[in-house]
Structures are given as structure tokens and as C-alpha cells.
Amino acid sequence: MIPRPLSLLCEITYRCNLQCPYCYNPVDLRAYRDELSTDQWCALLRDAAGLGVVQAHFSGGEPTLRRDLAALVREASHSGLYTNLITQGTFLDDDLLAELLDSGLDHVQISIQAPQDAAADRIAGAAVHEKKLDALRRVRRHEVALTLNCVLHRLNHDAIGDVIALAEQLGIGRLELANVQFYGWAYRNRAALMPTRAQVRHGEEVVAAARERLKGVMEIVYVLPDYFGEFPKPCMNGWGHQFMTVTPNGYVLPCPAASAIRDLRFENVRDRPLAEIWRDSESFNRYRGTGWMPEPCRSCERRELDWGGCRCQAFLLAGDAGLTDPACSLSPHHPIVVALREAAQETELVARRA
């Protein structure tokens, strides 16, 4: 049986004024310049609602660079969808925020690169940290849900406690501390971004203590780094199970990173209706459910908990998207992940001393 999709990620543009090296966007950004029109996005949102989708996430790139963002939010909201804006916040001034709220925006997620401006601006490649804090304070004053997000990696992981303190100071109710996932630009930069084991252990302790202390005040979502767990992440809760991503130029992907899988042909809403792509396409059906699974997934008790992990990661690391995710300790390809993780440990900086 074909499941009902619940969530649609609209990557409305890959344009962005920042240069974060941990971005999961594809490295060949120029291939995505032929963006869908306002009408095409609106039709897509209506079709998604018709299929049963209940949430639309507007992301990118930087989605506020599209001047029709508020019109798209309005269309989604009119179609009964919960609307979520994932932004780095540098263009979220009073006018744009008012327009978005008037269009029915339900939730804003703003990302920072680090808790202090020098470090944050270095990672972002532009002097924007203060603007982001302004945007956070601005959104905080309104009747809309707000999440502060900080992607963690080697360069900022030690500041995790300061990120939590900043969130407290800003009165944030929901904080997402997500370790970098190695796709797109982050895959290219993974040796420099991989956290050390000591950082991860420290991070877990800090988060556990903060959760206890801030119970009922702040919800802290902590996403473990991929290469450190015993089992893989249940990527997308299963391929073609609940999630769809649409790229700026209209390709429909089962996972935001799926374009990395070079031997799978993805379909475009310019050529085929969304409902058919979801239901009938080879790209959505190839890894749907559990029938495609090889060992050790096929006979694994966890096969419907983690769904074999991430198809894109299996392709990137082991060369075949139809294999168990090498991040799983049971995968025969797990030594690849161990080697990448351990290589990062050895490149730790040594402080100078006499």
C-alpha cells in the first residue's frame, strides 16, 4: 500500500547570501537556477494538500530571497497546510515579517552559526550575526512559534553551552542543536567539520543537564552526529513514507540529499503530476518499505525503526544506495565510517606551549 505523505519541503531557491561550509545543498548549485514560478509552486502546494500533506516547510538556500515567499505561504495556509519558514534571518525585517504573519505563517526557524559574532560571522562568511539576533528578538514578540537552530560541527561544538545560554537570554522556547549531516557542501568539507569524540561526549552532557534545568521552559532537540551512533538515523522515517522535497527547479526527491544518488532518475513536476510521482515513480518506489532491503537489514529487528538508515549515505560512502547505511555498526561497510571518524580524531589541534 502506498502511504500518505505528511510533509513537503519546498526548497524554493538555492540562492543564499551566506557561505556556510556545512550546507547540505548540492555542490553544483548552478544546475538549479531555472526556478519554478509562483504559479507552479502554488499549484504544487494545492496538489500536496490534496494528497494528504499537512505541513509545508519553506527552505532553500535562503527562502526570503524569493519575493513571492509571502504569496506561497498564503497559498499553503489557504490549502490548510501548517507553514514553516526555515531561514537564516538576515532579511527578516519588520515589513517582511508582518507580511508573512499576515499570510498565515505558523512557525519560524532561524539559524545561527555560533553564539558569538566573531565566530559566527567567520563560519557564515559575512557579518550577519547581529542581524540574526535582531530577527530572533523581532519574531519573539509575535504570536508565532519560534525555533532557534544551530548546526554543530568541529568549529563550534565546544560552544554548545553558550548557544543554550544565548537561547535562554533571548527567551527561546525551542532550540534545535543538530550535528552537521554530511551531504552536499558538508560532505565535501567533512574532514574539517567532523566533531571529535570528546566534543560529542561533552555536548551530550551539557544538553542532558540543560534539559533537566529547563524542563517546561525550553525544549531542546539534539541531533546526534551521524558517524558516532551504533545505529543509523531513521532517515525520512523511511524512503517515500512521509516526506517529499521539491528542488528549486521542480525535481521531487524522497530526501533533500537524494540528488547525490547519481544512478536514480528523479522526476519533475513540470513533466508529471505530483500525485503520480509520489505513487508510481521509480525514484519513490525503489526503496519504499522493506522489500528492497539486503542483509543485514532484511532480517534485522530494527528494519522498521531505522528503515536501513540513509540511502544517500549508502551511495556516497559505499557506492550503492541499495545497501545498509554504513553508519550502522552492523553494516559490512561500517569500517569506512570508523576510518572517517577516527581520521578526524587525529587531526585535533595541539595548543602551542613552551
Partner 1 sequence: MNAERRPRLGKGIKLHHNRDGGVMLLVPEGALVLNPSAAVALELADGKHTLTEIVDAIVERFDVSADGARDDFEALFDRLAQRGFILQ
Which spans of this chain sit near partner 1 (rule: CB under 8 A)?
A: 6, 52, 54-55, 80, 82, 84, 106-107, 109, 143-147, 173-174, 215-216, 219
Contact indicator for 139, 92 with CB cutoff of 8 Å: yes
Contact indicator for 132, 170 with CB cutoff of 8 Å: no
Q: Which is nearer to partner 1, 54 or 330 (CB)?
A: 54
φ, ψ dihedrals at 181, nearest 5°: -110, 140
Q: Which is nearer to partner 1, 215 or 265 (CB)?
A: 215
Q: How far is the CB of 333 from partner 1 (least distance, A)?
A: 30
* Three-class SS state of 144: coil
Contact indicator for 235, 310 with CB cutoff of 8 Å: yes
Q: How far is the CB of 143 from partner 1 (least distance, A)?
A: 6
C-alpha cell at 313: 549515505
Q: How far is the CB of 9 from partner 1 (least distance, A)?
A: 11
Contact indicator for 48, 1 with CB cutoff of 8 Å: no
Q: How far is the CB of 305 from partner 1 (least distance, A)?
A: 17
Contact indicator for 93, 132 with CB cutoff of 8 Å: no
DSSP state of 105: -
Burial class (CB in 10 A: 0-12, 13-18, 19+), 110: buried
Question: The cell 548546526 sits on which residue?
Answer: 151
CA angle 273, 322, 197 (to 5 degrees): 110
Contact indicator for 237, 243 with CB cutoff of 8 Å: yes
Q: Which is nearer to partner 1, 40 or 237 (CB)?
A: 237
Q: Which is nearer to partner 1, 144 or 192 (CB)?
A: 144
For residues 230 and 75, what is the distance between their CA atoms, to the nearest angstrom? 42
Q: Which is nearer to partner 1, 59 or 283 (CB)?
A: 59
Read off the amino acid at residue 345.
Q
Q: Which residues pair with 244 in a beta bridge?
A: 8
Q: Which is nearer to partner 1, 218 or 261 (CB)?
A: 218
Q: How far is the CB of 15 from partner 1 (least distance, A)?
A: 24
Q: Which is nearer to partner 1, 80 or 319 (CB)?
A: 80
For residues 245 and 183, what is the distance between their CA atoms, to the nearest angstrom? 15
Q: How far is the CB of 69 from partner 1 (least distance, A)?
A: 18
Contact indicator for 76, 28 with CB cutoff of 8 Å: no
Q: Which is nearer to partner 1, 82 or 91 (CB)?
A: 82
Q: Which is nearer to partner 1, 171 or 335 (CB)?
A: 171
Contact indicator for 12, 35 with CB cutoff of 8 Å: yes
